[in-house]
Structure 1
Amino acid sequence: MLIRRRLLAAGAAMGAATLAAPAPARADKFPAGRVTIVVPFPAGAATDITARVYAERLSQLWGQPVLIDNKGGGNGIPAAESVARAKPDGLTIFATSAMTQAVNPAIYDKLPYDPIQSFEPITRMGVSPFVLLVDAKSPLKSAAELTARLKANPGKYNFGAGSLPARVASELYKMAAGVEAVYVGYKSNPQAIPDVQSGLLTFMMIDTTNAKIAIDRSALKGLLLTDGERWPALPDLPTAAQAGLPDLQLTTWTGFYAPKGTPREVVQRINADIHAAAATPETLAKLEGLGGAPKLMSPEAFSAFGRSEKDRWGEIIRRANIRLE
């Protein structure tokens, strides 16, 4: 009888422990609560704007709040680290860009996260070339005129960037054009725009999303974009090759990740729902209005893409000899 009582007690304890243990996230029950999308940029940056479009539609699909947590600064390192350390239940999503996943590994000798090993790729969001911009009221009408001004006064003029990819794009312009200019850093690309307008900065290069916003409100003027074809959202802008700089080719990208260890079925569920969100006419129109159609992928394709982009950006940065001051 004593042995039987002990066995029953042990069984009850095991049952209680089983009930107390956290159950893994299930795709059919996802999401069980509020979802947070961490963005490594301040509000108003291109990745932030696009993530908010998706968050609005995903909240409707999931019947749960989807909040944006802007963790700008530090070239995205604090944001990436916070997601890498988050519980892998699908309730924390990282909406980031090539900066944290491809550029930082080539710039920093040591990072508190690994762009490949610390995350589960969900899907790419979009792809964007860069736009070479000057003040809308500037007398400069072409990239050739900007290049001529910079060559005539080496090191006299400034350029700004609020993200590492934008900095890399500007450095590539300097290399391709054979000019010198002084770098001024900002916390985000939009924060540099007023200084272009004031004349503190002579030029900057940013993604098509923020470039289109600045051009549409007559704040800045575009001189070229770093792609092999003209961009539908900015049809009047010549390509770099058309502007006389065929070697100035560069695109950046954005995408969604989850913490490493997030169940595969949850990752697949989020991927499918992001595809569904992007396919709705209202969301698609908003995304296209920001400068380009979605360029979504499967998790597997996005994983391979991320690895290749890490290598590609690393080679570009080494070739340009870009270093942190």
Structure 2
Amino acid sequence: MHSKLAMESAGPTRRDVLGSSAALLAASAFGTSVSAQEKYPAREVRVICAFPAGSGADVFARYFAENMRPFLGGTVIVENKVGASGNLAINFAARAKPDGYTILIHAPSAIAANMSLFKDPGYDATKAFDVLASVCRLPFTVTVGANSPHKTLQDLIKTLQQKGDKASYGTTAPTGQVAAALMKDILKLKMVEVPYRTAADSVNDLESGNIDFMSYDPIFAMPFHRNGKMRVLALSSKERMSTAPDIPTMNESGVPGVDVVGWWGVAVPKGVPEPIKAQISKAFLQMAEKPETKKWLAEFGSDPFIIGPDEAQKLMLQDIKDWGRYVKIANMEPKG
């Protein structure tokens, strides 16, 4: 009896040791997880950009990555993942580890649009991302060359009606394609679309009058408009841009029901812990509210459009529905 008691009280059994070790490991893992969240970011954060270095999107992503650092509290770098109309970057970000160290700075409107523009974009926007903030929006433009006789959109519409299928317009991006197609559908015009690979490729044709107008984004068009080398007649948004209050909307100019805009913000893959999402969203919104940022956005050719995660997520989901309708109106065949 005494011998048995002595054995039982002599020290921990193998089972006790294993159990204690497991408990210590679990506690350690839990502590590490909590610590990592508290210290976020503990290493560099990468921002994914869908377009090449030097492009407008790249300039945008690098500006926000650089200026977000003081608010996020760590190093932020930009990686360009170019291809498939943005889908390469979108899919890369969607499949990234949901730990807050991969952020997509892109247009959630484009993430939504690609759901209808591609037969298989490789992701489901309703399940792949949490949109944490929006910072600006960009309507597309109806732009003519400096030598064009048209001073207003109504002037241009009269010419387009007279020319029938001899009238033509240029596009470089899906949002501009849809904005022009809506105008064509609403006014029952017969004008013909001429797609260009880049906006720069279209300039000579616009200046020479080979095409009647271009559907440019304002980042490209506004500098030319300001220096008198082009003329922006109207915008595809429901309201005028605060940064260009002299330019009317298409709605004001005889094309009712057009409200097609791109908007830019930040998204992370689903599954990022809530405290980290809140930290990223707060940093982005704080930086977007700075007067210097708003001034830069205006010079960049966009309107500040600052909304938080709840509104931004709802807006992307609405865009998915809207783009399903847009591609039908524009007779756009989804890409394979």
| TM-score clears 0.5 | yes
Q: Counterpart in 2 of 1:288?
A: 298
Q: Which residue of 1 aligns with 2:190?
A: 179
- Give the C-alpha shift of residue 246 in structure 1: 2.3
Decide which of 130, 135, 149 is 1:139's aligned counterpart. 149
Whichever structure has more helix as a proportion of its residues is 2
Distance 1:131 1:125 in 2: 20
Q: Which residue of 1 aligns with 2:4?
A: none
Match of 1:256 in 2: 266
Amino acid across the alignment from 2:298: E
Match of 1:52 in 2: 62
1:303 equivalent to 2:313? Answer yes
CA shift in 2, pair 1:194/1:93, >3 Å: farther
- AA paired with 2:191? E
Cα deviation per residue 1:282-307 (whole Å; 9 max; x = unaligned)?
Answer: 22321233344532222222222211
Q: Which amino acid aligns with 1:182?
A: E
Do the aligned residues in 2 keep the contact of 1:99 with 1:165 (CA within 8 Å)? no
CA contact (8 A) 1:25 1:90 kept: no
Task: Report how far residue 7 of structure 1 moved.
Answer: 5.6
Q: CA deviation at 1:113?
A: 0.8
User: Structure 1 residues 114 and 122, CA, compared in 2 at 3 Å: closer, same or farther?
Assistant: same
Alignment of 1:123-138 (within 5 A): 123-138=133-148
TM-score by length of structure 1 reads 0.84
Aligned pairs for 1:83-98 within 5 A = 83-98=93-108
> What's 2:88 paired with?
78
Deviation digits for residues 135-164 of structure 1 (CA, Å, limit 9, x no counterpart): 233333232343344344444455333321
Rg (Cα) greater in structure: 2
In structure 2, the partner of 1:321 is 331
Percent identity, please: 28
Q: Which amino acid aligns with 2:273?
A: P
| 1:165-244 mapped onto 2 (5 Å cutoff) | 165-177=175-187, 178-186=189-197, 189=199, 192-193=202-203, 196-197=206-207, 201-244=211-254
- 1:269 matched residue in structure 2: 279
Distance 2:35 2:328 in 1: 41
Secondary structure of the equivalent of 2:127?
Answer: coil
Is the 1:121–1:256 contact (alpha carbons within 8 Å) kept by the matching residues of 2? yes
Shift of 1:251: 2.3
Distance of 2:267 and 2:77 partners within structure 1:
15
- Report if the CA contact (8 A) 1:25-1:263 is conserved: no
Structure 1 position 324, deviation (Å):
4.5
- Output the amino acid matched with 1:55: A
Partner amino acid, structure 2, of 1:179: K
SS in 2 for 1:140: coil
| Helix, strand or coil at the partner of 2:183 | helix
CA–CA separation in structure 2 for the residues paired with 1:25 and 1:97: 33
Contact 1:41–1:70 at 8 Å: present in 2 too? yes
Maintained 8 Å contact 1:53/1:286: no
| Contact residue 154 and residue 180 of structure 1 kept, 8 A | yes
> Secondary structure at the residue paired with 1:294?
strand
- 1:184 alignment partner AA: P
Are the counterparts in 1 of residues 130 and 270 from structure 2 also a CA contact under 8 Å? Answer: yes
Partner AA of 2:236 in structure 1: T
The gaps in structure 2 that reach 5 residues or longer are: 1-9
Tell me, in whole angstroms, the C-alpha distance in 2 between the residues paired with 1:71 and 1:157: 37
Find the aligned partners of 1:153 and 1:40 in 2 and give their Cα distance.
Answer: 38
Map Cα deviations across residues 211-230 of structure 1 (whole Å, 9 max, x no partner): 32332344422011123433
Once the two structures are superposed, what CA deviation does each residue of 1:173-194 show, in whole Å capped at 9, x if it has no partner? 22234132133142x5566446
What is the distance in 2 between the residues matched to 1:258 and 1:20? 24
Q: Provide, for residues 226-270 of structure 1, a one-character-per-residue CA deviation record: whole Å limited to 9, x for no partner.
A: 234332222221221332222333222222100111111111111
The letter of the residue matching 2:290 is: T
Question: SS where residue 86 of structure 1 aligns?
Answer: coil
Partner of 1:30: 40
Rounded to whole Å, the distance in 2 between the matches of 1:57 and 1:161 is 32
Q: Deviations over 1:44-83 (max 9, x none)?
A: 5554443333222112334533223333432211111110
Q: Normalising by structure 2, report the TM-score.
A: 0.82
In the alignment, the residues of structure 2 paired with residue 301 and residue 25 of structure 1 have an alpha-carbon distance, to the nearest angstrom, of 30
The residue type paired with residue 183 of structure 1 is: V
Task: Sort the Cα spacing of 1:182 and 1:209 in 2 relative to 1 into closer, same or farther, 3 A.
Answer: closer
In the alignment, is the contact (CA less than 8 A) between 2:72 and 2:280 conserved in 1?
no
Moved more, 80-89 or 230-239: 230-239
